[in-house]
Chains A and B, each alone.
Chain A
Amino acid sequence: MLLYAVIPDNATAPDIPGLAGRRLEIIRAAGVAVIVEECSDRFSTTKHEAGAFAKIVCNLAISTSVLPVRFPTVLATRAAVLAQLQAQEKVWSQRLRDLSGLSEVVIRAQWPEAESDDPSITSGTSYLLSRAAVVQRQKTLVAEIRELICEWAREIKVLRSQQGIRLACLVADTDVPPLKGAILRWQEAADCRQAVVSGPWPPFSFAVDQEAMSP
């Protein structure tokens, strides 16, 4: 069974097909439930399927709080799904309450300098100094964006990025427009700044409470 998202136990299954074309079902335990779909063992996991999975989870999140399950997670039987629900019921139901009314946005921001084809890089030393400068600029940019959005962001995670920075931010649904507006104004305040805000989505990056998992 392909797992889509953990939801409150009183939520209803939406009448939409899953990736395998079958109807989505709900398996319930005390306190939480999970949206699943019967699927074959050899499940295709291309970029197309990942995108379709994301759209289904986004649709689910319109009507209820969700903890998205990492794609692709497949359990062999209903009993295995139920065992997971029962084992994680307290943790998941608490996280569902924590994330109620919250969404995730991803902010990309960068500076205009080309980083890889700098003609001044002619030796290993100059390359290392260049990389150190890039890391320092990234840290400065992260701090600047954090300061800019701290009014709305409940949690922030720094994601890996090939160029510039990428931040996943947990925000209230009502705070998404002002956060996007602040990023837009930041970008327009100087020609060299570039930023893109993606989302809002279900809280993929915040489904697990990292603080609760820490020893």
Chain B
Amino acid sequence: MSNAMESWSNEQVALVDLIDRVIGGGVVIAGDVVIGVAGVDLVYLGLQLVLAPAHEVEQSVAAGRRPA
């Protein structure tokens, strides 16, 4: 039998789940972002910044709502 839960320790599973929730959960707040290349700031954006795992964005777009 081949599966991820057998090859990973419980601690590794917990760490993966925790990091997934840190970037996929939590309160979403308006943010600022500076886009730069090679240390040079090119564009400053003051916007509603939503960082979410791609799969949640796909689900939200399909459902016609913002990512949770």
A residues with a Cβ closer than 8 A to B are 3, 6, 41-42, 47, 50-51, 53-54, 57, 67-76, 80, 84, 92, 104, 106, 108, 110, 112, 114, 117, 159-160, 162-164, 166, 168, 194, 196, 198-199, 201, 204-208, 210
Kindly count the residue-residue contacts between A and B in the assembled complex, taking CB atoms under 8 Å apart.
127
Across-interface contacts of B15 in A (CB, < 8 A): 51
Across-interface contacts of B13 in A (CB, < 8 A): 108, 196, 198
- How many residues does chain B have at the interface if contact means C-beta atoms less than 8 Å apart? 39
Across-interface contacts of B47 in A (CB, < 8 A): none
Residue of B nearest to A6 (CB): B27
Across-interface contacts of A54 in B (CB, < 8 A): 18-19, 21-22
B residues with a Cβ closer than 8 A to A are 1-6, 10, 13-15, 17-34, 36, 41, 46, 49, 51-53, 55-56, 59, 68
Q: Is the CB of B5 within 8 A of A108?
A: yes
